[in-house]
Amino acid sequence: MKVAVVGATGLVGTKMLQVLAERNFPVTELIPVASAKSIGKEITFKGKQFKVVSVEDAIKQKPDVAIFSAGGSASLEQAPLFAAAGTTVIDNSSAWRMDPTKKLVVPEVNADVLTPEDKIIANPNCSTIQMVVALKPLHDAYKIKRVVVSTYQSVTGTGVKAVDQLFNERKGIDGPKAYPYTIDLNVLPHIDVFTENGYTKEEMKMVKETVKIMGDENIKVTATTVRIPVMGGHSESVNIEFENEFDLAEVRDLLSKAPGIVVVDDVANLKYPTPLEAHDKDDVFVGRIRRDETQGKTLNCWIVSDNLRKGAATNAVQIAEYLVAKNLIGQAVEA
């Protein structure tokens, strides 16, 4: 299978290459694509060297699938060009997520919506992905009415510049800033730009994307998204109100058996998920599972996942794996 990775030299693009290799995705030919300044550079994939090419050159090679992590404006311009050439695009930016003609997919939740006609598929926001993986089995069992979520998000979600800012500040070095304030030893209740309603775009992404992925407009979501000085993954405090009563033991059992989830919930032995524990893993970790004692039919839990993996690269690769398994793309259709 001919696979293009667009944005191959970036933080998420690099992670996508790593995940493709680790999961043994059937890559017969890799086409790394990046911006003009990176064309001609070499990247290593499975011990072999590959030269970075331009978008135009990549499209001419007619890849079966193109996994995009090149930013929204690049995706809006370039994804349709790949799709017109017959390539299935899996896009990690926000460009297509709320487009009513495009599917927004988390494989554990709604992969069954995909068809061979879906040539541009949107990969959701990182903080939304990990939350809906945990919400899905609970919604199926008890029907979710409302979700209140506060996030604690890694600087890796902003990119290399933010990681550099954190470590520069830690060393007392003055350098380029990704954030308007110091991030080391600080917390910023501000991810993406503020919108007219006082929420940030990140918060509104969680609200709108959750409804679209879960396929239920009756689910109400309110979010506060926060950047904290950590690496490894995003954490979320989630309060979930159900229509139906639940049993805590059954909740733990449902989550334990659900695809992509690892329950780490043994407070007697101080076992709960942390971003350091989630780092470089593909799972969504759930702990601190307890009843909200102030309101009926309401659950509190803590959800942690590596935002560069399940929150971005792994989810995109899992979509591609599903397309292959169901004979929805490329060589698999002809085989």
Q: What is the pTM of this model?
A: 0.95
Q: Is 218 assigned a ligand-binding role in the annotation? A: no
As a whole number of angstroms, the distance between CA 316 and CA 300 comes to 28
Fold held by 2-123+313-326 = Rossmann fold (3.40.50)
Residue 335, pLDDT > 80, answer no
Tens digits of per-residue pLDDT, 112-161?
999 999 999 999 999 999 999 999 999 999 999 999 999 999 999 999 99
Residue 253, pLDDT > 70, answer yes
Q: Is 12 assigned a ligand-binding role in the annotation? A: yes
Q: Which one of the listed residues 139, 190, 234, 301 is annotated catalytic?
A: 234
Q: Is 9 assigned a ligand-binding role in the annotation? A: yes
If residue 214 lies in a helix (H) or strand (E), which one and from where to where? helix 201-214
pLDDT band of residue 84 (cuts 50, 70, 90) is very high
Which tokens sit at 320? 């591609």
Tens digits of per-residue pLDDT, 190-235?
999 999 999 999 999 999 999 999 999 999 999 999 999 999 999 9
Tens digits of per-residue pLDDT, 67-80?
999 889 999 999 99
Based on the residue annotation, tell me whether 190 is a catalytic residue of this protein: no
Based on the residue annotation, tell me whether 234 is a catalytic residue of this protein: yes
pLDDT of 329: 86
Does the domain spanning 127-154+187-305 belong to CATH 3.30.360.10?
Answer: yes
Q: Which one of the listed residues 126, 139, 279, 301 is annotated catalytic?
A: 126
Average pLDDT value for the chain: 96
Q: Is 153 assigned a ligand-binding role in the annotation? A: yes
Q: Could you give the C-alpha distances from 211 to 56, 107, 241, in angstroms and in order?
A: 36, 15, 15
Q: Is 307 assigned a ligand-binding role in the annotation? A: yes
For residues 28-56, average pLDDT: 95
Q: Is 37 assigned a ligand-binding role in the annotation? A: yes
For residues 174-188, average pLDDT: 97
As a whole number of angstroms, the distance between CA 309 and CA 196 comes to 31
Q: What residue segments make up the domains of the chain, in order of their start?
A: 2-123+313-326, 127-154+187-305
Q: Is 38 assigned a ligand-binding role in the annotation? A: yes
